[in-house]
Amino acid sequence: MDSRPENDPEPRRGARPFRRLGIALAILGVGGVIALLVIGLAARGVDDSIDRAIARGDPEPAPGFTLPVLANGAALGMRDGAQLSLSELRGRPVVLNFWASWCDPCKREAPVLEAAWQRIRRQGGVVLGVDVQDLRSDALEFIDQYGQTYPHVRDGGDRVYRSYGLTGLPETFFIDRAGRVRVHWIGEINSSQMAEGVDLILTEAPR
């Protein structure tokens, strides 16, 4: 996972992977689905309430946000540049992926996210990319280069990045139809890991 220092004013290319202290727990979910949870953050002051809620077996609502659509807004019936609120997706399973164009693991997992979008969209779900710590032009070039057709929003001020307790990129959150974070995946995600998370939020009934 790549990480940019907090005091670095510009996104960096080829940043060193972030080293996080923690314990990876595999939690057996409904129907034998395994949700990966990482507990314990190396960085001070990071909000880990999402992870703690998953560990308790009492997932909490995903932090809300409203951000401008960066690309592929038409997939949601919106124009690029319009404001998208996470609350508008309530009732739909959501794979929320934080990324940046300079992040090497983000490049490697790009095909996995596109494949997840092609699957989940047929069942009413959404893959939503959140571009952070990036130049808009670089982000658009990345989206085009990797053939991503799912919608993306832009977190220009890192407010949403911080509200989700991120300390590096990429990170992926699986949000069920009730708007609760069921799985938090830290770092690059592969096809089987993605499938487990998607299966969980597709089968979980809203409360």
Number of domains in the chain: 1
> 160-198, pLDDT tens digit by residue?
999 999 989 999 999 999 999 999 999 999 999 999 999
Beta bridge partners of 96: 128, 173
Report the relative pairing of strands 126-132 and 152-155 from DSSP bridges: parallel
188 domain-assigned: yes
Residue 206 pLDDT class (50, 70, 90 cuts): low
CATH number of the CATH domain containing 152: 3.40.30.10
pLDDT at 35 over 60: no
Predicted pLDDT of residue 22:
30
CA–CA separation, 34 vs 183, rounded Å? 9
Residue 204 pLDDT class (50, 70, 90 cuts): confident
2 domain-assigned: no
3-state secondary structure of 50: helix
Q: Considering the chain, what percentage of its residues have pLDDT values greater than 70?
A: 77
7 domain-assigned: no
134 domain-assigned: yes
Q: What is the pTM of this model?
A: 0.81
